[in-house]
Amino acid sequence: MATFTACILIDARSAGARLPRQLAVVAPLAQASGDVTFTLWVLDDTGDTRLPRIAQRFGARLVSATPLPLGQRLNEAIALSNGGVLLFPGIGNATRAEALARLAAEVAAGKLDAATLPTRHAGWLARLLARLRRLPSGDGLCLSRSWFERIGGCDPELDERALGELLERLQACGVRIRPARVDSPSKA
């Protein structure tokens, strides 16, 4: 398989207190060597003074931005990156680095254009509290950079709905999308 670069983007505001846990899951990908090069990016518009230390601990590049909607923050970070595959792990659903690596490889090889990373099924109370606080849904997405650019990237005016709306536009274009199971081991 040819070498490719995948860019993992995690938004610090959306991840909140789960950021170190999410970084711990995906950091091994950025540190591994082989046919795939993963770069790890943390987008920050919070100004939290702990983030530079956290990003450094996990080998992530910290991209500071002014407080903007998530769609604009993602577009700006992707413009700085060079990955042919874009991974947005979402909130709390990236639990296996190996599964994310396989998924990125499938997108890079052209076997599919995009895959959704399902939201973990939290209890009804957690879902209700998240909805009341207007927290992002947690859905993740993996897609080819070419499709991201072809449809114009994220809507820069959208915040928590930025990735969901991007997915809707991808579906409207007939992109090959499938749900991914990131928790299950590979079938040999």
* Model-wide pTM > 0.85: no
Per-residue confidence (pLDDT) for residue 139, from 0 to 100? 64
Q: How many domains does the chain have?
A: 1
Do residues 6 and 35 touch, judged by C-beta distance below 8 A?
no
Residue 106 lies in a domain: yes
Per-residue confidence (pLDDT) for residue 103, from 0 to 100? 83
Spatial strand order of the sheet with 4-11 comes to 61-64, 36-44, 4-11, 85-88, 140-144, 114-117, 177-179
Q: Which helix H or strand E contains 24, and what residues bound it? A: helix 19-31
Tens of pLDDT along 68-94?
899 999 999 999 998 899 998 865 455
Residue 153 lies in a domain: yes
The CATH number of residue 84's host domain is 3.90.550.10
**110 is in which domain, residue-wise?**
4-179
Residue 52 lies in a domain: yes
Residue 184 lies in a domain: no
- Region 171-178: mean pLDDT is 86
Residue 187 lies in a domain: no
**DSSP symbol at 93:** -
Q: What is the spatial distance between Cα 77 and Cα 171, in angstroms, rounded to a whole number?
A: 23
Residue 123 lies in a domain: yes
Q: Could you tell me the pLDDT band of residue 134, with boundaries at 50, 70 and 90?
A: very low
Q: How many CB atoms lie within 10 A of CB 1?
A: 9
Residue 107 lies in a domain: yes
Tens of pLDDT along 4-61?
899 999 999 988 888 998 899 889 888 776 677 899 999 999 989 999 999 999 999 9
Percent with pLDDT over 70 in the chain: 77
